Structure 1
Amino acid sequence: MEEQAALRAVVRGRVQGVGFRDFVWRRARFLGLTGYVRNLPDGRSLEVVAEGERGALEQLLEYLREGPRGARVDGLEVEWGQPSGRYPDFGIAF
């Protein structure tokens, strides 16, 4: 079994109102990750908190750099940590 890890990522750019949260939700669930994605109040960034196998998290980061059609990613800040186990699945937070 691969090493378990956690990350918190903030994606900046044209990432709200373009389907980015749904894009992240679908890919995170496909990768077997737990956590959440949510828009941040500044109107131009979103937060992703995810836990799971390190390789799956790295793949998620590739998806975050790309984004869905219509999005523009200007920046990505990532913090790595230890998984908490507090998330039963991956969801969209409001």
Structure 2
Amino acid sequence: MLEAVFSNIIGNAIDASVDEKYLHIQTLQSKLKAVVKISDHGSGMSEDVLARATQPFFTTKPKGEGTGMGLALCKQIVQQHGGKLLFENNDRGLTVVIELPRKMS
């Protein structure tokens, strides 16, 4: 199921990128967790959108182009694996951070 998380987040990042349709993907690990950061070159998210981004049926896409379930399902899947799904605005767009424990408890 984690494949679906990465597929959805990467697809969203490509859709959000305005002129530069490439992403920056960074991976990090410690003894306790693995982290994947996916950054786009879009406009980022407003505070209101950040607060609602993982709510079921919430979408910023035009009618007929999004169900509003993608990030809600991503959050649920990541949490089922004991992890966290975070969003950070940066100077070039948005970074989605996926944190997963290296060992399930």
Q: Which has the higher helix share?
A: 2
TM-score by length of 1: 0.41
Question: Normalising by the residue count of structure 2, what TM-score does the alignment of the two structures yield?
Answer: 0.38
Give the structure with the larger strand fraction.
1
Q: Which structure's relative contact order is higher, taking Cα pairs within 8 Å and 6+ residues apart?
A: 1
